Amino acid sequence: MQKEHSLSKNQKIIFDLIDKSGGPMKAYSILFNVQKKGIKAPLQVYRALDKLVEIGKIHKIESRNAFIACQNSSCQVSKATAFSICESCENVSEISNSKLSKYLSSFSDNSGMKYSKYNLEFFGLCKKCKSK
Amino acid sequence: MQKEHSLSKNQKIIFDLIDKSGGPMKAYSILFNVQKKGIKAPLQVYRALDKLVEIGKIHKIESRNAFIACQNSSCQVSKATAFSICESCENVSEISNSKLSKYLSSFSDNSGMKYSKYNLEFFGLCKKCKSK
DNA sequence: TTATAAATGTTATATTATTACATAACGTTA
DNA sequence: TAACGTTATGTAATAATATAACATTTATAA
Ligand SMILES: [Zn+2]
Ligand SMILES: [Zn+2]
Ligand SMILES: [Zn+2]
Ligand SMILES: [Zn+2]
């Protein structure tokens, strides 16, 4: 069990929005959606996003510049993330596969690097898009 | 052996620059460096980068918005890439590990996704930075 | 309470990437 | 060669993503 982080006002507004959306959201789309709640500037959004990423409540999908709610239990605070991305419909989901995560978390090579974190993005076609 | 792509003028200028740099380069830094060669606009750079990525001569480091010359043999035309990134000095190198690439290329789960491509980024500290 | 850290508000600006449109070079085949 | 389609180039404008700098407020905790 990890520490509970109590979210601040802006963090909560933004996390709830992303979480309810069920998929990845882009920063300026988030901004647009929370303006009625008083969050008016990009920086307010980015600060909340930074914090939410830091504590593992959301992840950034790097190839899409988008943010998605963690679908596991905050992923060891975001040190090990894997996503599946449909290149047709842009559906994204978080992969939760213990074999994969064990394999990657224990990966090492002879480069002398000490790895502490990874992010993996798989691309392809989802079930729906395949059958079209 | 894969098809040889003969690079166009702009593509060659930009590939040579990235390749010689030995590390990741950002688009606008590339632009700055090739202005004396007549490449004046961002779009000229991005078009060349797009093509070079497509044919596997370079890869995009998504978490850094930067581009690096392929250190293998054009990585099955960029369908399977893995990088090691030092979070201290930002040194990046391409991981060439056949076990890892086999494992990931054959990865599948019960989601119904058909995976055709992946990108993996490991983060940590390189040898030098560790010992500081 | 008082000090410290964390979060917020606001303006301006930097960085990364694309749209739209016009032109030129290249490769193929009639 | 001529005509055609494809790829690459040039140029201007703009869109999309992200951060710097500074002032103020709120939460936490010694
Ligand atoms: Zn997660
Ligand atoms: Zn799909
Ligand atoms: Zn490569
Ligand atoms: Zn380093």
Do B111 and A124 make contact, defined as CB atoms within 8 angstroms?
Answer: no
Q: Are residues B65 and B82 in the same domain?
A: no
Choice between B63 and A131, residue whose per-residue pLDDT is larger: B63
d(CA A76, CA A98): 12
pLDDT band at B2 (very low <50, low <70, confident <90, very high): very low
Per-residue pLDDT of chain A (132 residues; tens, 9 = 90+): 334 579 999 999 999 999 999 999 999 999 999 999 999 999 999 999 999 999 999 999 999 999 999 998 756 667 999 999 999 999 999 999 999 999 999 999 999 999 999 999 999 999 999 887
CB < 7 A contacts with chain D (nucleic strand): A 6, 8, 26-29, 41-43, 46, 50, 65; B 8-11, 38-44, 47-48, 51
Task: Give me the pLDDT at residue A3, please.
Answer: 44
Q: Are residues A54 and A27 in the same domain?
A: yes
Secondary structure class of B67 (helix, strand, coil): strand
Q: Which domain holds residue B59?
A: 9-69
d(CA B112, CA B80): 20
Task: Give me the pLDDT at residue B77, please.
Answer: 63
Helix ranges, chain A (H) = 9-21, 27-34, 42-54, 75-78, 98-105, 127-130
Residue B1 is assigned to a structural domain of this protein: no
Domain closes at, from B69, B100, B115 = B69
Q: Are residues B43 and B23 in the same domain?
A: yes
CA distance B12 to chain A (A): 25
Which amino acid, residue B64?
A: R
Assign residue B116 the CATH number of its domain.
Answer: 3.30.1490.190
**Interatomic CA–C1' length for residue A55 and nucleotide C3, angstroms:** 26
- Chain A residues 36-95 with Cβ under 7 Å of strand C are 38-44, 47-48, 51
Tokens of A35: 């303006």
Task: Give me the pLDDT at residue A29, please.
Answer: 98
pLDDT band at B74 (very low <50, low <70, confident <90, very high): low
Calculate mean pLDDT across residues B34-51.
98
pLDDT band at B14 (very low <50, low <70, confident <90, very high): very high
Bases of chain D within 7 A of a CB of the protein: 7-14, 16-21, 27-28
Residues contacting residue B129 through CB under 8 Å, at least 6 positions apart = B86, B88, B89
d(CA A23, CA A86): 12
CA of A26: nearest nucleotide by C1' is D17
Assign residue A34 the CATH number of its domain.
Answer: 1.10.10.10
Is B49's pLDDT higher than 90? yes
Domains identified in chain A, total number? 2
Size of interface A-B (CB pairs under 8 A): 93
Q: Buried (b) or exposed (e) across A8-46, using 16+ Cβ within 10 A?
A: eebbebbbebbeeeeebbebeebbebbeeeebeeeebbe
